[in-house]
Amino acid sequence: MTPSSSPIPDLAALLSLAHDLADAAREVIRPYFRQPIDVDLKVDHTPVTIADREAERVMRSMLADRVPEHGVVGEEFGADRAEAEWVWVLDPIDGTQAFLSGQPTFGTLIALLHNGTPILGLIDQAITRERWVGAQGEGATLNGAAIQTRLCTDLSTATVFATSPAMFQEADAACFERLSERANLVRYGLDCYAYGLLALGFVDVVAECQMELHDYAALVPIVEAAGGVISDWRGEPLKMGSDGRVLALGDTALQMEALRLLDGEQAVE
């Protein structure tokens, strides 16, 4: 690849490829939205549809054509060359339950990892045609317009999101309750879209757990490039192999308090 002034070699080409993947996934997904389609349950009892599978297939096929030396990790079809220097992480439909309920807040997640660290992320909402992009060393955008997180230095004024209260089991539930009971407002139900709203400056905190690499990898560069901070519940960077606990904050000033309330050390198995 041609060296450039960006910390990422040939970032423009990689961003262009990410957009092409998202365009292709969007065209696959849109015709299935709010149509009666079959739902299969995976071994983890989460649902999957032909829309998830076809969207991932078309993205993997494009990657095999254009960057055959890169690795790919996808929610539906697993890992190829996951040890490669450059690895694409794909979640064709993050929020399949929202998709199946006709709720236009699911998202296609596309991340590029360099040596295990997410350096480029994209969230695409196929129905509302909203696309968030963030890359290390670059700003974050929504449909091409620069965005940034908002200030929030006091948790008692914060809006906190999580996809569902049911994702917090046992010790994690107590941790989340300590955080959420200090917040101004707790809302549920948005999957990746909540991180997009955080990057856009309308949500202050997202705390979740039971997240897989394909759920969180794309969120990291977007939240960071928008001025926020995202980590596990111990404040460690999210990367391949993280434990699935995620804390995103629009204002870095809240991070210490939020981590203390989540009591990350206690939450670790």
Q: Where do contacts with its own copies occur on this chain (CB under 8 A)?
A: 34, 97-98, 100-105, 127-128, 159, 161, 164-166, 185-190, 193, 197, 200, 202-203
* 16 vs 188 by CB, closer to its own copies: 188
* 84 vs 127 by CB, closer to its own copies: 127
* 177 vs 243 by CB, closer to its own copies: 177
Return the H-helix or E-strand segment holding 164. none
Give the nearest distance from C-beta 269 to its own copies in angstroms.
Answer: 26
Give the nearest distance from C-beta 70 to its own copies in angstroms.
Answer: 34
Residues 6+ apart with CB under 8 A from 148: 139, 140, 199, 201, 226, 227
Residue 207: closest CA among 182, 236, 176, 253: 176
Contact 163, 107 (CB under 8 A): no
* 5 vs 35 by CB, closer to its own copies: 35
> Tokens in use for 145?
């317009």
Give the nearest distance from C-beta 27 to its own copies in angstroms.
Answer: 19
CA–CA gap between residue 98 and residue 258 (Å, rounded): 28
Give the nearest distance from C-beta 60 to its own copies in angstroms.
Answer: 28
Across the chain, the runs of DSSP E, i.e. the strands, are 40-41, 47-48, 71-74, 78-80, 86-94, 107-114, 117-125, 130-135, 140-142, 145-147, 159-162, 185-188, 205-208, 229-231, 246-249
Give the nearest distance from C-beta 167 to its own copies in angstroms.
Answer: 12
β-pairing, 159-162 with 185-188?
Answer: parallel
- Phi-psi bin for 102: left (phi > 0), alpha (psi -120 to 50), beta? left
Give the nearest distance from C-beta 84 to its own copies in angstroms.
Answer: 36
* 30 vs 260 by CB, closer to its own copies: 30
* 89 vs 98 by CB, closer to its own copies: 98
> Tokens in use for 254?
């809240």
CB atoms within 10 A of CB 13: 15
